[in-house]
Amino acid sequence: MSNSVVIAVDAMGGDNSPSKIIAGISEFLKNNNNVFFRIFGKKSIIENEISKNSIKRQFYEIIECEDVVQNNDTPLSAAKKKNTSMWKSINDVKEKNSNVVISAGNTGALFVISKLNMNMIENISKPALAALWPNKVSMNIVLDLGANVECDEKNFEDFALMGAALHNALYPNDISKVALLNIGSEEIKGHEKIKKAYHSMENKKNNLYEFCGYIEGNHIMDGKVNVIITDGFTGNVALKTAEGTANFISSELKKALTNGLIAKLSSFLNILNLRKFKNRLDPRLYNGAILLGLETPVIKSHGSTDYIGFANSLDVCVKTVDGKLIEKIKKNINN
């Protein structure tokens, strides 16, 4: 880890902010002392939360912001307000006062304001939203998860490169294995754009990842690949389906293990295994989506997560900077 990573934090975005934001910073600092936070928002409220969490002055600076992007603001209306904590935190990275920016606020507004303030990486035509997704072995990087409803073969190839660079930044000891999400594993399956991307990626040498062809939805969590590429429409549907399935399994398991004396006794005897199972399904552990393709990484924390989830997304911020994510994308985009 570097001597000092500077994170620009939109402290006013998301549910229960800035309380959970400051508590998340405090939680993160328990195990990290080489990060500096430039915190954007209502100074008096933030100072009160910092006092509650006893954060030392050496780790932060507060930048006063007069306005806030609301959850019901349209991206266009939010982009017109230049004094919001979201706009100023993003602009802070543009001006190179910070290395990375994070917000738990309005997703659409975050994307639009980021694109207005930052340049795209040269030869990347569209940004993509990537996120962590657990598998049997470790973790997947999945993208795009909603930034682009329609994609062509060039976009798929760009996403593969950016996803592999992100995977390498977060998990430098693992080989990045890329697959295209499709309706079948055979070469003839899928629409023309994804088939063109398949043939191009299969025939192109790349030092950043190993191309593994197609993957079907029922094999996403097998762990045989770790970077999964799709368009934003399909990716978002897959993500929401997985989240709903995880919530369903957790709630039904809880019902089954508390329904009667024998069930309660069984759950008590298996408490360690049940805790491991619960943790694997805990979305807070995988919090921190990344908008890829811009000159600086933009991290989107889930708006409804708690301070634990926000603390985990701060870890993603540090790893993307220390792992030289942007440098790896630029180095490989023209190869």
Domain final residue pick, 98, 120, 142: 120
CB atoms within 10 A of CB 117: 21
**CATH classification of the domain holding 158:** 3.40.718.10
Per-residue pLDDT of the chain (335 residues; tens, 9 = 90+): 344 899 999 999 999 999 999 999 999 999 988 999 999 999 999 999 999 999 999 999 999 999 999 988 899 999 999 999 999 999 999 999 999 999 999 989 999 999 999 999 998 989 999 988 888 888 899 998 888 888 999 999 999 999 999 999 888 889 999 999 999 887 778 888 999 999 999 888 778 899 999 999 889 889 999 999 999 888 888 888 877 777 777 677 777 666 766 656 665 556 666 566 566 666 677 777 899 999 988 999 988 889 999 999 999 999 999 989 998 888 887 65
pLDDT at position 58: 93
Residue 132 and residue 90 share a domain: no
Residue 23 and residue 83 share a domain: yes
Torsion of CA 190, 192, 197, 199, to 10 degrees: 90
Residue 155 and residue 40 share a domain: no
Residue 224 and residue 147 share a domain: yes
For tokens 């802070």, the residue is 92
Our count of domains for the chain comes to 2
Tell me if 302 is assigned to some domain. no
Tell me if 22 is assigned to some domain. yes
d(CA 78, CA 85): 11
Q: Kindly report the CA angle at 144 between 141 and 150, in degrees rounded to 5?
A: 160
Helix or strand (DSSP H, E) at 8? strand 5-10
d(CA 226, CA 50): 38
Q: What share of the chain is helix, strand, coil (3-state, %, to 5)?
A: 45, 20, 35
Residue 67 and residue 8 share a domain: yes
Residue 138 and residue 61 share a domain: no
pLDDT at position 276: 64
Q: Which amino acid would we find at residue 52? A: K
Residue 36 and residue 158 share a domain: no
Tell me if 176 is assigned to some domain. yes
Angle formed by the axes of helices 19-29 and 43-53, nearest 10°: 40
Tell me if 309 is assigned to some domain. no
Residue 221 and residue 98 share a domain: no
Residue 183 and residue 40 share a domain: no
Q: Report yes or no: 5 and 317 within 8 Å, Cβ to Cβ.
A: yes
Full residue range of the structural domain in which residue 200 is found: 125-292
CB atoms within 10 A of CB 255: 10
Residue 62 and residue 149 share a domain: no
The whole-angstrom distance between residue 117's C-alpha and the CA centroid of its chain comes to 20
Q: Which 8-state DSSP code applies to residue 148? A: -
Residue 280 and residue 169 share a domain: yes
Residue 162 and residue 32 share a domain: no
Tell me if 323 is assigned to some domain. no
Tell me if 327 is assigned to some domain. no
Domain final residue pick, 120, 142, 157: 120
Cis, peptide link before residue 18, omega less than 30° from 0: yes
Tell me if 333 is assigned to some domain. no
Tell me if 311 is assigned to some domain. no
Nearest to 234 by CA among 282, 275, 313, 180: 180
